[in-house]
Amino acid sequence: MIETRLAALGERLVVKNLMELYQHDFSEIDGTDLGEDGRYGYYDLDYFWIHPNWSAYVIVVEGKWAGFALINNEVHIQGNTLAIVEFFVVRKYRRQGVGKLAAKAIMDANPGSWEIRVLEQNLDASRFWTGLLDKLWPAKYSEALLNDERWHGPVFSVDTQL
């Protein structure tokens, strides 16, 4: 059973720990080094519990932590209203449909005009989002390539409203 739900405040440390795994994976792409304390850190993680338009979700498989997603309303393309800022599934659960089910659950729970930004070098993420959007909303999504001071890379947009 796959459960995707809003992360409770008491689960903030779980998301913080999962974020370290995510950033470790990501360091191959963005070249980020560990801080002096041996962690990557994420500067504004607390906002996802205190800002009214930001949310953290946890992904749980058979009672085990499997990933997280962070969403907010900071978008780069006019007309979009929601953004998946970070999305992570631990390696054990990848390529098993966990990420697709979790992403769909989050987007279904928050119908709107979504934006998903992907680093240009992150080909796995581009394939994941293209496959998901093409399967679930083939006529309702688009891809743009941004190259400005805010973002460099593909931006997927999809309207999940009925």
Rounded Cα distance between 151 and 145, Å, is 9
What CATH number does the domain containing 111 carry? 3.40.630.30
Rounded average pLDDT over 141-146: 93
pLDDT score, position 152: 86
Report DSSP letters for 103-147, one per residue: HHHHHHHS-SEEEEE--TT-HHHHHHHHHHHHHH-TTSEEEEEEE
Tell me: the pLDDT tens digits for 4-27? 999 999 999 999 999 999 999 989
pLDDT tens-place string over residues 88-111: 999 999 999 999 999 999 999 999
Across all residues in the chain, what is the average pLDDT? 94
* Predicted confidence (pLDDT) at residue 47 exceeds the cutoff of 80: yes
- At 115, list the tokens: 């934006």
**Secondary structure of residue 30 in the 3-state scheme:** helix
**Does 154 score more than 90 pLDDT?**
yes
- What backbone torsions phi and psi does residue 157 show, to the nearest 5 degrees? -125, 140
| Residues 23 and 32 sit within 8 Å (Cβ to Cβ) | yes
Q: pLDDT band for 44, please (50, 70, 90 cuts).
A: confident
**At which residue do the structure tokens 């994420």 appear?**
42
Q: Output the pTM of the full model.
A: 0.93
**Domain span at residue 65?**
2-159
Which tokens in the block code for residue 89? 């599934």
Neighbours of 51 (CB within 10 A): 13
Q: Total domain count for the chain?
A: 1
pLDDT of residue 31 exceeding 90? no
Is the pLDDT at 162 greater than 80, yes or no? no
